[in-house]
């Protein structure tokens, strides 16, 4: 079987992608050496962009044919909590997506592009402080409201509130809530909402 110059094939594929010549890509793909193709991926760091509880990861992708770059693009994946569960989905609002022509070529070459993974944030585990002025408080319309745990700082209590809240919603998905957790501060001998303490 005749072997074609892979650099020339790569250059022709790059041009075909730019011009969206799908018929040309189909012809050229038949002459690509399958042992020397692949997608190189470089994932960026997870960023929250000032939105606690959510993370985004952008990944740079390059299609390599015979050692030559044919196309490059970026993909973005976002992660967040839904009903207490960590879930991810592609985010294309910033223009990070697999171009249609590139996707068509990947299909012809038997390659599959993938989204970057988004790691779930580490769960904080702050030590309780029996004398702490802040607490995670169980709010309810019933008569069982109570202090769940006390902490030394508002930041610690707020972070642990998210942990309790996620566990509660994970155990009770898709329902309306007449109860839940809040952060309260000790005012004299009463636990009040942090806003009420002002």
> What pLDDT is stored for residue 196 in this prediction?
59
- Which residues make beta-bridge pairs with 82? 85
Domain that residue 50 falls in: 6-109
> 146 and 74 share a domain?
no
pLDDT at site 83: 77
Same structural domain, 151 and 102: no
Alpha-carbon distance of 24 to 16, in angstroms, equals 6
The pLDDT of residue 39: 98
- 149 falls within a domain: yes
* Residues 99, 175 within the same domain: no
Tell me if 160 is assigned to some domain. yes
Residues 27 and 100 both lie in one domain: yes
Same domain for 88 and 180, yes or no, is no
Domain for residue 122, yes or no?
no
Question: Distance between CA atoms of 171 and 181, rounded to whole angstroms?
Answer: 14
- Both 68 and 163 in one domain: the answer is no
Residue 116 lies in a domain: no
* Structural domain ending residue among the three candidates 44, 75, 109: 109
pLDDT score at 2: 62
Same domain (yes/no): 145, 88: no
Q: Do 77 and 142 share a domain, yes or no?
A: no
Q: Is residue 117 part of a domain?
A: no
174 within some domain: yes
Per-residue pLDDT of the chain (198 residues), as tens digits, is 467 899 999 999 999 999 999 999 999 999 999 999 999 999 999 998 877 778 999 999 999 999 999 999 999 999 988 877 899 999 999 999 999 999 999 999 999 999 999 998 888 889 999 999 999 999 988 788 999 999 999 999 999 998 898 888 877 776 677 888 999 999 999 999 987 544
For residue 168, the model assigns a pLDDT of: 86
Which pLDDT value is given to residue 198? 47
What is the number of domains present in the chain?
A: 2
């Amino acid at each position: 079987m005749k072997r074609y110059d892979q650099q020339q094939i790569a250059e022709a594929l790059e041009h075909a992608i730019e011009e969206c010549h799908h018929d040309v890509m189909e012809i050229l793909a038949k002459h690509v050496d399958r042992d020397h193709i692949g997608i190189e991926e470089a994932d960026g760091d997870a960023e929250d962009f000032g939105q606690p509880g959510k993370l985004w990861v952008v990944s740079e992708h390059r299609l390599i044919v015979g050692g030559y770059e044919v196309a490059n693009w970026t993909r973005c994946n976002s992660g967040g909590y839904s009903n207490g569960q960590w879930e991810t989905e592609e985010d294309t609002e910033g223009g990070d997506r697999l171009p249609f022509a590139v996707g068509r070529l990947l299909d012809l070459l038997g390659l599959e592009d993938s989204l970057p993974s988004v790691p779930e944030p580490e769960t904080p585990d702050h030590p309780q402080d029996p004398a702490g002025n802040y607490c995670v408080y169980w709010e309810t319309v019933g008569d069982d409201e109570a202090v769940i745990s006390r902490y030394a700082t508002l930041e610690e209590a707020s972070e642990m509130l998210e942990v309790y809240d996620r566990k509660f919603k994970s155990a009770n998905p898709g329902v309306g809530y007449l109860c839940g957790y809040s952060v309260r501060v000790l005012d004299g001998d009463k636990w009040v909402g942090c806003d009420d303490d002002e």
